[in-house]
Structure 1
């Protein structure tokens, strides 16, 4: 560690008490997530800059992540997992399968817009193009399940749930991407647009 790098209290490379290594790894991911949300570009992130923000030597980052790709992957996986848990909670609070599908999809679109930088890295980055981010499959699979519940409850026509979910996800991600990349366009409120997607693509009745 050079004289300009602040020491992290209680952390010693190669001599971490049990649990401190895990906490440091979590701190590194949290910092990387905050930086990626601002940068909106995985290539613009540097491990040295992350280390500086956390307040540790750059070598300490390499103890947990082999390279930038490994750190970005871990950060995106946590971001996706956080959204997944939030969508499950939104579904659980809904009154019926139709409201559950709307609640989970609304949360996905809203959270993506709130963290536009992370969303761009998740779906539009060079890493996304080079590596299969398998943890993203959970968004589609849970959407298929939610659509199937609507069908089983008689709230949506008997269509192929996977094809319908793919249509819905394409519409939602397209809407979110356009809002992020064409923010000067007067887009309609996302909840209203989502309701039109659910009516037109899934076949749900109009709310109310």
Structure 2
């Protein structure tokens, strides 16, 4: 058998490392493609220098890999928001603004992944319950603003959904129509926070 260009088989107990390599390659390739339908497991296998059958051991089909990638991306987004928020302890309005701005900047830095997160049909077929974590984090941040008097009292979940709809729509437009005369992103986000949440920035 010709093994030129193939990596050596992982030793026992190293399978989790190969899975991570495959997942990392999937993240990188989906960010470049911006379309999960354009991804193939064979291409991922080539990127990791393994046989396609090795990929199927961890991800039985493309949807399984796409689902794992989107979960990883949501975990990253939650972590980015948590880190940004932590810099403004005891300042609810600044915490919410920092969270939204950090997550929006992540999306701008990873436009292909952002498109997959919001345009892939995988979540309609398989569901993505992990997305609820980010919604809950934002709802909690909005509720803190209301409790502290930094925003008018309202239904925090409804306000959160309005805010996420505006932010996600803005990001999609910026990614798909980059040549429009866009204002600074922070200024646009501040207008959303002012008009939709009621923050006094």
TM-score (norm. length: structure 1)? 0.92
C-alpha distance in structure 2 between counterparts of 1:5 and 1:108, whole Å: 42
User: In the alignment, which residue of structure 1 is the partner of 2:78?
Assistant: 84
Match of 2:166 in 1: 171
Q: 2:17 aligns with which of 16, 23, 26?
A: 23
Counterpart CA distance in 1 for 2:63 and 2:125 is: 10
Aligned to 1:126: 121
| Stretch moving more, 126-135 or 22-31 | 126-135
Q: Would you say the 8 A contact 1:5–1:56 is kept in 2?
A: no
Q: Aligned runs of 1:37-76 on 2, under 5 Å?
A: 37-76=31-70
Structure 1 match to 2:145? 150
Q: Answer yes or no: is the 8 Å Cα contact 1:5–1:57 preserved in 2.
A: no
- 1:199 has 2:188 as partner: no
- TM-score, structure 2 length as denominator? 0.95
RMSD: 1.4
1:162 is aligned to 2:141? no
Provide the C-alpha distance between the structure 2 equivalents of 1:31 and 1:24, rounded to a whole number of angstroms.
11
In the alignment, the residues of structure 1 paired with residue 103 and residue 162 of structure 2 have an alpha-carbon distance, to the nearest angstrom, of 15
Give 1:7 deviation, angstroms. 2.0
The answer for unaligned runs of 5 or more in structure 2 is none
Query: Paired residues, what number?
Result: 200
Q: How far did 1:194 drift?
A: 0.5
Superposition map of 1:79-118 within 5 A: 79-95=73-89, 96-118=91-113
**Superposition deviation, residue 5 in structure 1:** 5.8
Distance 1:97 1:52, change over 3 A: same
